[in-house]
Every structure is written in structure tokens, then in C-alpha cells.
A and B are shown apart, each in its own frame.
Chain A
């Protein structure tokens, strides 16, 4: 299977390369050219600066959004009055594309990084909140009753029963919102920024630097992939008791 898989991907790349020999339009580079350009860009400081600027926006946004999402989601899952007060607002606004708030955030929080970090945090809040909420709701009642029966207090039940049972769902939400943080970061930078990978791809597009376009595309792909791996790795380490889905 592994061999067939590797052969499949290699033949796709080879087909692409062969097509480029026959002459592709200027905006489609061949795999070898992309690899060469990316190698060159890795040697220069420019790519690192833009990548660092991008990460400086997406990671704080992701952290803030996930933190409040988990916190409020757990609270809404456990406290009924908070659920009634807060959850309807979240569920109604859930299908709304959060990026439309970017212009108004720019008015409120300035045109700099703060508005971008906050819009990323807003987008990341939703998946984590909803997953934490349902994670708590899905806690088997019998476990809570057993713990109560054995004389556990509310704090102990939260730490030893509710949190471990909701944690896998929270991680699933964090995986979604990490991917989302990169999308929103990229969008915000394409719309308005002076640094970052989204800005780089706009510059490349406007100056018809196709090599630079593919470099920033590949860079953001690598970052997204690495981030996803990192979340999954953290989940495996922290939730060792949980059976991993394939």
C-alpha cells in the first residue's frame, strides 16, 4: 500500500513536471522550479520575517480564542443559567462569517496587529466553545453520580470527571480553530497588512512575481501542516488514556 501510495504521488508530480516541459502558462510553475525557489527563499531573511509576522498574529489569536472558547464553553455546559444567557447568542452567530467584522474591528482597535489578532481570536472562539459545550454535555451522568456518591466536591468532580471527559472534544475544536486561525490570518493580511505571508502573496501577485507567490503559498502550507501536527502531538501526550482515532 505504501509503495502504491508513493508511486501515485510521484507519478502525479512527474506528470506535472512533464506538462511543464510542453509549456505551461507563466503562472503555473513546475514542481522543480517551486522547490528551487523555495530553497532559495529559505536562505534569505525575507521569508522568515514575513512568516514570523504571520505567526505573531495567528498564534496569539488562536491562544486567546481557544482559551475563552474552552472557558466559556465549559461554563455554559455546566451552569444552566449561563447556558441560557450566553449560548443562544453563540449559536445564532455561529454560521456568520466572522471575517466581515474585520473592517469594523479596524475602526475600533486600529489598523495594526491588534484588530487582526482579535478577529482571529473571535473566529477561533466558536469551534472550541461549541466542542467544549458538547463535551461537557456528553459526560456520562453515571460517572458524575458515582463521584458524588463517593463524596467528591464540585471542584473535584470538575477536575477529575468533567474535564477529562470533555478534553478530547476540546482538542478536536482546537484542531479546527487552528486551521481557521491560518485562514483568517491569511485573509486579514491579504485585505490589509504591511507584513506577513498574506501580504507577501499580494505583493507577488501585483508585481507578477510568480516564484514569490508559490514560495509564500508553500510557506503557509508548511506552517498550517506543522501546526496541525503539533496539536495532534499535544493531544496524544496529554490524553494518553484516550484511544486515538485513525
Chain B
């Protein structure tokens, strides 16, 4: 890591390339400092964050419900599974121009697209989780006289939860990607817009500072999911980074 940074700095200082192509790390750090102390740019970050989190939260609510329904009911799975697996590889981003017309050019179209893209991993993972609940546990619960609601709350949901978090883990970076792309394509606020704006004003150092901010945000959100997972699902350790 350090090596890459040193090479970068050397390339920036060497003067072989224009400062517009390789701004020095110092100027990027300076711009980043200005970024985090400027309330206006923090507001842009907040706009991006609430779009990403809004779409993600909606997708989580709907996705867990639909996924678990698919996992516990053959009929629902038979109807919805081809829909999800068939359109899984289709870039939902292509719907964005239509969403602009339907939901307007403001936050709503972006939140809707984030929701749609995040829905897939969450539904698929909760579906797998709810389907692979240990049958022995279900039988034991029934045997001990648990009602359906009790079985759901005490057996199915805890057994599905690790899978749901694996889905969250995939969905959070997706939410960030979609927000940044949609803001780059058409927006007047948010971090994606700042990237495009600072590039068009030929401030590469400022652009890289925004890129660093986006990277940091993505990293922190991912860490937050892992932290929440470790607290909530204390009975199962996460042994690999990538589930």
C-alpha cells in the first residue's frame, strides 16, 4: 500500500505528467481537509448517504419479507423465483431513464433504483436462508408444541439472519455504486455530482478528494454492517471476509 502511494507521489513530483493528471498527495489531502470542514460539501455527502440508506432500508424491509415468504412457501417461490433469477443478470440501471420520468429527477428516482438493485441480493440470500432451515429444529419446535408464530420467531428468523446479513453485505456496496452512478449521470447534488463537477472545472485534486470521501463512506458502511452482524448474530462467528 505504502509503495503505491510512494510511486504515486514520485510520479506527481517528477513533472513528467501534468499536475492535472497526477496531483500530488499533499494537494489531495489538503482538498480532502477542506471537504470535511466545509458544511456545504458535507451536505452533499449527506444527500448521497440518505439516498443510499433510504433505498437500502426499503429493500431490506421488502426483501427480507419476500425472501422469507419464498423460502417458506412453495407456491410463492415457484411464482417469484423465475422472476428474480431470470432478471438477476439484467442491469437494472437501464431502467433509470424511465424512472426519471416516473419518479422525477430528484431523489425519488435514485432511491427507487437503489431499492431495486439492493432488492436482489437481499431477496436471494433470505430465500436461501429460509429454505435451508434445519428441518430437525422445525420438527422439535412443533413437537414441543410451538405455535406457528413461535416457530417463526424462535427458529426460522434466527436461522435466516446470518444469510440476511450476507445479503446486506452485498447490497451495501451496490447501494453506494448506484447512488454515485445515478448522481454522475443526472443530478445537481450529491457526491457523484461533485465528482463530475470538479472534473469539469479541471480540479483533479478536488475530484480525487471526493473519490476518497466516497471510498471512505463505502468502507465505513461495510464496517457498520459487519459490526451490527457481530452484535446481533453473536452465536455464529464470521470467519471469512466475503460470505
Chain A residues proximal to chain B, CB less than 8 Å: 1, 4-5, 8-9, 25, 27-28, 88-89, 91-104, 107-108, 130-131, 134, 137, 175, 178-179, 182-183, 186-187, 190-191, 197-198, 201-202, 204-205, 213-214, 216-217, 220-221, 224-225, 227-228
Q: Which 5 A-B pairs have the closest CB atoms?
A: A228-B89, A27-B101, A97-B177, A95-B222, A96-B215
Return 25 A-B CB contacts under 8 Å, by A number: A1-B78, A4-B75, A4-B78, A5-B82, A8-B79, A9-B83, A25-B102, A27-B101, A93-B215, A95-B219, A96-B173, A97-B214, A99-B184, A100-B195, A100-B211, A104-B208, A107-B21, A107-B199, A134-B242, A137-B240, A178-B89, A183-B91, A198-B94, A224-B89, A227-B89
From A213, which residue of chain B is reached at the shortest CB distance?
B97
> Binary interface profile of B, 200-222, with partner A (CB < 8 Å = 1, else 0)?
00001001101100110011011
Cβ B207 vs Cβ A104 within 8 A? yes
In the complex, what residues of B have CB within 8 A of residue A214's CB?
98
- Contact bitstring B154-183, A, C-beta under 8 A = 1, else 0: 000000000000000000110011001100
The CA-CA distance from A214 to B95 in the complex, in Å, is 9
Asked whether A134 and B240 contact (CB < 8 A) given A89-B1, A186-B93, A221-B90, the answer is yes
CA distance A25 to B103 in the complex (A): 12
Q: In this complex, what residue of A is CB-closest to B210? A: A100
CB distance from A115 to the nearest CB of B (A): 13
Contact indicator A101/B211 (Cβ below 8 Å): yes
**Given the complex, which residues of A lie within 8 Å of B208, measured CB to CB?**
104
Given A89-B1, A96-B218, A182-B89, residue A217 in contact with residue B98 (CB < 8 A)? yes
B interface, over-half SS: helix
Residues of B within 8 A of A (CB): 1, 4, 20-21, 75, 78-79, 82-83, 86-91, 93-98, 100-102, 172-173, 176-177, 180-181, 184-185, 192, 195-196, 199, 204, 207-208, 210-211, 214-215, 218-219, 221-222, 240-242
Q: Which residues of B contact A228 (CB under 8 A)?
A: 88-89
Closest chain B residue to A183, Cβ basis: B91
Q: A93 vs B4: C-alpha distance in the bound complex, in angstroms?
A: 14
Q: Are A186's CB and B204's CB within 8 A?
A: no
A179 engages B88 (CB within 8 Å): yes
CB-based contact A130/B242 at 8 Å: yes
CB distance from A195 to the nearest CB of B (A): 16
Q: Which residue of A lies closest to B17 (CB)?
A: A108
Most buried by A among B97, B204, B207: B97
Interchain CB contact under 8 A, A97 and B181: yes
The answer to whether B87 touches A221, judged by C-beta atoms less than 8 angstroms apart, is yes
| Separation of A197 and B180 alpha carbons in the complex (Å) | 20
Q: Which residue of B lies closest to A188 (CB)?
A: B181
Residues of chain B contacted by A27 (CB below 8 angstroms): 98, 101-102
C-alpha gap A93/B218 in the complex (Å):
9
A94: chain B residues within 8 A (beta carbon): 173, 222, 242
Q: A187 — nearest CB in chain B belongs to which residue? A: B181
Shortest beta-carbon distance from A175 to chain B in Å: 8
Most buried by A among B89, B181, B241: B89
Q: Write the nearest CB–CB distance from B187 to chain A, whole angstroms.
A: 12
Chain A's closest residue to B80 (CB) is: A8
Given the complex, which residues of B lie within 8 Å of A95, measured CB to CB?
172-173, 176, 218-219, 221-222
Q: Does the CB pair A216–B94 fall under 8 Å?
A: yes
Distance A108 CA – B204 CA, assembled complex (angstroms): 11
CA distance A23 to B204 in the complex (A): 49
Q: Are A5 and B79 in contact (CB under 8 A)?
A: yes
A48 to B221, CA, bound (A): 40
Within the assembled complex, what's the spacing in Å between the Cα atoms of A108 and B16? Answer: 13
Q: State the Cβ distance, A114 to closest chain B Cβ, in Å.
A: 15
Establish whether residues B98 and A213, one from each chain, have CB atoms under 8 Å apart when the complex forms.
yes
The interface residues of chain B lying within 8 Å CB-to-CB of A187 are: 93, 181, 184-185
- Taking the closest CB of chain B, its distance from the CB of A60, in whole angstroms, is 18
**How many angstroms between the C-alpha atoms of A202 and B184 in the bound complex?**
13
Q: Are B89 and A191 in contact (CB under 8 A)?
A: no
- A100-B214 in contact (CB<8A): yes
A residues near B176, Cβ cutoff 8 Å: 95-97
Given the known inter-chain contacts A97-B214, A179-B88, please indicate yes or no for A205 contacting B97, CB distance below 8 A.
yes
User: Contact check: which of A8, A88, A217, A227 meets B94 at CB < 8 Å?
Assistant: A217
C-alpha gap A224/B102 in the complex (Å): 24
Per a CB cutoff under 8 Å, which of A91, A100, A104 touches B192?
A100
The answer to whether A96 and B214 touch across the interface, beta carbons within 8 angstroms, is yes
Nearest Cβ on chain B to A27's Cβ, whole angstroms: 4
